[in-house]
Structure 1
C-alpha cells in the first residue's frame, strides 16, 4: 500500500513522518514547499512530491491513503477531500474544527459513491474523546446528555495556535437537542474527574460537538477544558476586536512563532480525558483515560489508522465509527478507566 503524509513541513506532519520511518514504513512525503519538504525526505530516505492543494488530484493517482496534516483545515480540507474523491484515495486528517467535521460529514454520499473513506480528526482531536463517548454510549444506551473534558500538557504547535486564533472571536458552541448552537464561552462549568485528579473545567467549542453526536446519537453534547472563569466573561467584550482582519493577522503572525513541544517536553507530559453520560431517569456513567503527550498520541494514531483504513466501509466516519470504541486502547501509553456507574 502506498500512502502519503501531506504537510510534513509542519510540526505534526514531521512527527508523523519520523514515527512512520521508525516503524519501518515508507510513506511519500509531500507539501507545498520544496525547500521544506525536500530536506526532510532526503534525511529520511523517502520519496517526496511538491504540489499545491489545487493540484492535488494530479499527485494522488497512485496513492491509496493520504494523511492530511496541513492546516488550518478550514482552508485546506475541502480541496484535499475533492482530490481524494476524484482519485479514489482514502482521506484522514488531524483537524479539531467543528465546521470541518460538519463539512466532511456532509459528503458521506459522495464518499460512498466513490468508494472512499473520509476520516477527519484521527489525532488527539478527537480520537480519545470520541472513543470515550462511544464507550459511555455502550454502557448507557439510553443516554441523552454527554459531557467530555480534556487537559493536555507541553504546549501547542504553530498550527494549533493558528487554529485557536481563528476561532477566538466566536465564543462557544454546544450541541443542544441534536443541533449545534452558539453559546457563551464557559457557559457551563463543572468538575471533571480525570484519572490523575479532579479539576474545574469550563465549556469550550471542541470537535466532539460535531463528532460525538454522529458516533453515539446522543443529542446533547458539551465539551470542556480547564478555563479561567474570567476568560468566559471577557471573550464577548473582546470578540469584535478579535474578528478584525488586523487582529487575526497579528494573531496568526504570533502563532507562527510557536515552535511546538520538543522531544523532552513531550516525553514528560501527557493528556487526560474524562467523560460522563446521563439519561432522563438519572442513570449516570463515567469513564476516563490517561495518555502520552497529545502530539505523540496524534502521530501514533495517524500511523496506526493508515493501515486500518482500507478495511473500513466507504463513507464519512468518526474514529469510533471507523475502528470501534476500543481503538484508543491500541495506542501507546493509553490507560482507560471505566465506564462505571456514577451517582
Structure 2
C-alpha cells in the first residue's frame, strides 16, 4: 500500500512538500495532470507518479487504489477539491489539502457525516492557511471560554506562489467575508482597516480579507463574530476599496481567465527568499463584558510552514486512527500544534480586564 499521494505535486508548494517528504523517508506517489513535469520531479526523488485528470470519477478511483492519505496541493481548490474528495469518500482515503478558500471549507464540512460513516478524516487547510491562525484562535478560546468576538491578522512576506496568486484573483470577484452574529456574511473588499503592532514596536496597517478562518475558527471555537486581516500598505487598501465599484467586471469569465493566466505566471519565492522572510500573526478575543485576551506568533515563511504543518498532519494520521469526520487543524492536532513546528515562537500572550 502507498501511504501517501500528493496531488498537484508538480506545483510550487507540491514540489516543496514532495522533496521534504522524501527527505523524511516517505515514499509518496506524486500525482497530477502534467506527465512531463511529474516525470522531471519524480526521477531524482526516486518516487513513482500517476497522471490523471479530474473529469472522470472512475479514473480518479482507479488511481486512488492502495492509497491511505491524499494531500491535495492543486489549486484553485474550488476546482479540485470536490472530485478528489468525492473519490476519497468512495475509496475510504483520508483527504487533506492546503486550501484557504472559504467555500471549500464549507463544502468539506457539509460532508462530515459521510466522512464519519466512511471512517476517513477530512482536514482541509493543513498549511499556512489555516494552521497557525486556527491554533491561535483555539488557544484564546481556552483562555476566554465566553469569547464573543475574535480578530485574527497576519503579515506575510516573501511573495505568492502561482496557485496562491490565481486563488487571490478568483477571490476578488467574491468580495469580502466576515462572521457576524454566527452568520457568514458578504462584506465589501477591504471592509475595515486598522493597525497592529509588531514585536519590534513598529505598526502595520491591515485590512479585512476573506481568510479561511471566518469559517474554520467558528467551527473550532464557536465564537460568533470573526474578522480576519492582512497587513498591507495603505495604498493597497485604497486601491482595493476603489475596486469595489468594478466587482461586477471582475466576475466576468473572460477577465477572470485573463487575470488568472497572468497570475499563474508568478514564479513564487526562491529558497533564499523563503529563508530570509517570516510571518507575524496576531489574535485578539473578547467577551460581552469587554474582557480581552491576545496573543501573537512568529512563524517561518508561509510556504515553509505549509510543508512542515502538512507533513506533520500526514504523519499523525499514519500513526493514529482518529474517528472519521471533518476536522480543523486545532481539532485534529490540538491548539498547541503550531508551537511544535520548526521556527514558530509565541511572542506575546496577555489579558486585559475592563
Paired residues of 1:148 and 1:273 also in contact (CA < 8 A): yes
Q: Secondary structure in 1 aligned to 2:243?
A: helix
Q: CA deviation at 1:318?
A: 0.3
Paired residues of 1:193 and 1:288 also in contact (CA < 8 A): no
Query: Do structure 1's residue 72 and structure 2's residue 73 form an aligned pair?
Result: no
Q: CA deviation at 1:338?
A: 4.1
Paired residues of 1:136 and 1:339 also in contact (CA < 8 A): no
Q: Secondary structure in 2 aligned to 1:205?
A: coil
Select the residue among 321, 326, 339 that pairs with 1:311.
321
> Could you tell me how far apart the structure 1 residues matched to 2:299 and 2:321 are?
26
Q: CA deviation at 1:32?
A: 1.3
Matches within 5 A, 1:113-152: 113-152=117-156
- Relative to structure 2, which stretch is displaced further, 197-206 or 32-41? 197-206
Q: Secondary structure in 2 aligned to 1:289?
A: strand
User: 1:53-90 CA deviation, whole Å, 9 max, x = no partner?
Assistant: 23221111211111110111001001110011011110
Q: CA deviation at 1:297?
A: 0.5
TM-score by length of 1: 0.97
User: 1:201-233 CA deviation, whole Å, 9 max, x = no partner?
Assistant: 111111001000000000000000124331342
Indicate the residue corresponding to 1:205 in structure 2: 210
Where in structure 2 are there 5+ consecutive unaligned residues? none
Q: Secondary structure in 2 aligned to 1:57?
A: helix
Indicate the residue corresponding to 2:245 in structure 1: 237
Indicate the residue corresponding to 2:41 in structure 1: 40
Indicate the residue corresponding to 2:178 in structure 1: 174
Q: Secondary structure in 2 aligned to 1:202?
A: strand
Query: Do structure 1's residue 193 and structure 2's residue 192 form an aligned pair?
Result: no
Select the residue among 148, 161, 170 that pairs with 2:165.
161
Aligned length: 343
Q: Secondary structure in 2 aligned to 1:26?
A: coil
Matches within 5 A, 1:1-343: 2-53=3-54, 54=56, 55-196=59-200, 197-227=202-232, 228=234, 229-309=237-317, 310-342=320-352
Q: CA deviation at 1:313?
A: 2.1
Q: CA deviation at 1:167?
A: 0.8
Where in structure 1 are there 5+ consecutive unaligned residues? none
Q: Which runs of 4+ in 1 moved over 4 A?
A: none
> Could you tell me how far apart the structure 2 residues matched to 1:151 and 1:159 are?
19
Q: CA deviation at 1:235?
A: 2.1
